[in-house]
Structure 1
Amino acid sequence: VVDCRVCGDPNSILRFAFIEFTDEESARAAVSLSGTMLGYYPLRVLPSKTAIAPVNPTFLPRSEDEREMCSRTIYCTNIDKKLTQADVKHFFESICGEVHRLRLLGDYQHSTRIAFVEFAVL
């Protein structure tokens, strides 16, 4: 995982994360995990349409490297708040491949968190 960013209202269980992987293959493998139980909640994993970047268009991917980074990144919602960043990284690496960057976001007032996972290889 290269990077991970959690978004949404911190007081809601409907938060989500963007996870950037080092490669597209790892990101695809992560997407196939949607519905898998992680802790007490099933994951919802969807492909991201952008890299982990601010909404400001000047920060959207401008180079081939940045676009390639987008293709290796997924975001994952509904992650049990009791899981650590290491738990989530191990989960994705054991099934999908090397995680280049992972960002696990959320607070402990809600039952779930979100993560951004970037895989190492396409």
Structure 2
Amino acid sequence: MSERARRAEREDSIRRTVYVSDIDNHVTEEHLAELFANCGQVVDCRVCGDPHSILRFAFIEFADEDGAKVALNLGGTMLGYYPVRVLPSKTAILPVNPKFLPRSNDEREMVVRTVYCTNIDKKVTQADVKVFFEHACGEVSRLRLLGDNVHSTRIAFVEFVQADSAILALNCSGMFLGALPIRVSPSKTPVRPRIPRAISN
């Protein structure tokens, strides 16, 4: 497929997609798809953001542009406890990069023990993140703290020794690490070590 054809396909996909925000944390992808199915045929529905927060958002893609246009009229609809906001999407729904998905049973098991953490204060170090999660949840076996000069916050993938610790870590959403409240959600990908070793203490 040529670059031009790929771009045209992506632009078509964007025109068929709406961005929905202010989603109550009791609302599932199924609920959303059901609501928006009244506007047209839904081909993909992806809820993103912290599962415990009302700051969740979603992308809903329709089979045609008309569905997306009709969907804009649903802004203000009460879904759960909050009225949702519906806007034209600026991006297409990005498929999860299959290269990052678990490739083996071992990696699937690693994912269960891993959380994805966002909104991390730039002043916080990798050691700070490790101490925070070990104090609140249990022993950390591997940790990757990522950031750049463009974004004002950093993200981290934290893998625990025990799956129970990862479940506990989800309750840390909203807790302050440095000057900011972090957001914690289940990770869809394992922490692959750049060099195959765990963090040394």
DSSP 3-state at the match of 1:82: coil
Task: Give 1:71's aligned residue.
Answer: 112
Task: Give 1:81's aligned residue.
Answer: 122
Q: Alpha-carbon deviation of 1:108?
A: 4.3
Q: Larger helix proportion, structure 1 or 2? A: 2
Per-residue CA deviations over 1:48-72 (Å, capped at 9, x if unaligned) read: xxxxxx9235x63243211111101
Kept in 2, the 8 Å contact 1:102–1:115? The answer is yes
State the distance in 1 between where 2:122 and 2:155 align: 9
State the distance in 2 between where 1:74 and 1:98 align: 13
Task: Give 2:98's aligned residue.
Answer: 56
1:107–1:61 distance in 2 versus 1, CA, 3 Å: closer
Percent identical: 70
- Where structure 1 has 5 or more consecutive residues not aligned to the other structure, the ranges are 1-30, 36-53
State the distance in 1 between where 2:130 and 2:117 align: 12
Among residues 91, 97, 106, which one is paired with 2:147 in the alignment?
106
The alignment's C-alpha RMSD in Å is: 2.9
Kindly provide the amino acid, as one letter, of the partner of residue 102 in structure 1.
L
- Where structure 2 has 5 or more consecutive residues not aligned to the other structure, the ranges are 1-49, 54-95, 164-201
1:81–1:121 distance in 2 versus 1, CA, 3 Å: same
Q: Larger strand proportion, structure 1 or 2? A: 1
Among residues 128, 131, 152, which one is paired with 1:90 in the alignment?
131
Q: Runs of 4+ in structure 1 displaced over 4 angstroms? A: none
Per-residue CA deviations over 1:58-90 (Å, capped at 9, x if unaligned) read: x63243211111101110000000000000110
Question: How many residues of Structure 1 are paired with residues of Structure 2 in the alignment?
Answer: 73
DSSP 3-state at the match of 2:110: helix
Kept in 2, the 8 Å contact 1:81–1:108? The answer is no
Q: Of the two, which has the highest radius of gyration? A: 2
State the distance in 2 between where 1:112 and 1:63 align: 32
